[in-house]
Structure 1
């Protein structure tokens, strides 16, 4: 199952760079709250596929469920419960507030990846 895939790795590096740029420079009402969430599931998917040749559908479902669980944990203020409220990286990576729009953006991001993979006939 473990096999390095350079294409997915390069995609994950590019997506990580985009996420970092968004986190550092996008302080608006659209790109940061929506585009970042849209791309983060793609980043996680590509990173997993960089090292493991798991089934596309199962990987996408796993990534989506992971994102959903993290979002629900934000509803319960997991950063505060873990005592990480003063750790900027924890607040950025884990998040600090629940939003239904985040769930929508995760879903749309996974759907786009699924459509691309289907088009490339990997599904």
Structure 2
């Protein structure tokens, strides 16, 4: 039996989850212009999307280390927003760069990333327990 299947979802399950999350994120970006779903739920889901994307490429990575690495990556991107990276690179008029990198630092975003990784952590722990039965 494949060890990746014992420790986590299969590569394809992560890939399908990543694709669905990407579609949800695109729908939020295009159609939701509110003060809750777009700024908060979108940020919670983006770290889950990144986690699933990484695990779809390399499912054998330990999920705990991967979750922590994704959280640190999200924090780093938010830190670059604090430093106004988009402006420093001269990309402030590039909509794609502003969307991907972001332009505004917010402590609330950091908490959303923590919530997203907490969701990943909970799902992986529940799955691990189920696999032990």
Segments of 4+ moved more than 6 angstroms = none
2:69 alignment counterpart: 62
Q: How far apart are the structure 1 equivalents of 2:98 and 2:33?
A: 15
Q: How is 1:1-123 mapped onto 2 (pairs within 5 angstroms)?
A: 5-52=11-58, 53-121=60-128
The CA RMSD over aligned residues, in Å, is 1.3
Q: Secondary structure at the match of 2:51?
A: helix
TM-score by length of 2: 0.87
Q: How far apart are the structure 2 equivalents of 1:51 and 1:106?
A: 21
Structure 2 segments unaligned to the other structure (5+ residues): 5-9
Structure 1 segments unaligned to the other structure (5+ residues): none
* Larger CA Rg, structure 1 vs 2: 2
TM-score by length of 1: 0.94
